[in-house]
Amino acid sequence: LLNKTARDADPLRAGVRRLHLHLSGPAKGTTTVEDLISPGRSLDFFNINPARRGLPHCIYYAKEWWHDDVNYASMAILKHDVCQGTKKYWNRVDTYPGEPFFIEGGPEGAEDSGVVVFAALDGRSRRSLFVVLDARTLEQLAAVRLPGHIPFTAHGNFIPAGVVGSAANAQAVVV
């Protein structure tokens, strides 16, 4: 990853596929595959509203590489509504976001009612940010500059305070 030319030319791309398992009707017993990625880009660290796991849902959030269709290091946070066919992005020049987490705004809200949070590295200052976005619009609600650089993590979890009993305990188990 240190060689920019090789990094930008890497042909490997991760993506999202939606599998349709036909349980009834004329296609019963078959599976169809729908590719959901923009050609030339790469996606990972997908998240949906946890209240929708195992249920029909339209929206997922992910980290995207090659956002400018040229540079691996051009990164963005993506909101993709597959039912409406719309995509929204958050990105900043020389800013490298980590895994986005969806935190729901309440059990009775819309599928995208809540916030998306993640750590990001500001490449110019070499310090991390904690970013909060409106999950519906991807409008930035807050970007808190942290005192140093937080190393990137993969596949963490957000655990609400009520799940473990108190906010003090929740802070200890958030990874």
Binding-site positions for Fe cation read 155
Beta-bridge partners for 63:
44, 77
26: left (phi over 0), alpha (psi -120 to 50) or beta: alpha
| Nearest to 66, CA basis, from 15, 116, 20 | 15
CA distance linking residue 34 with residue 37, whole number of Å: 9
As to burial, measured by CB atoms within 10 angstroms (0-12 exposed, 13-18 middle, 19+ buried), residue 62 is buried
CA distance linking residue 41 with residue 59, whole number of Å: 18
Q: Which residues are annotated as a binding site?
A: 155
Q: How many CB atoms lie within 10 A of CB 126?
A: 9
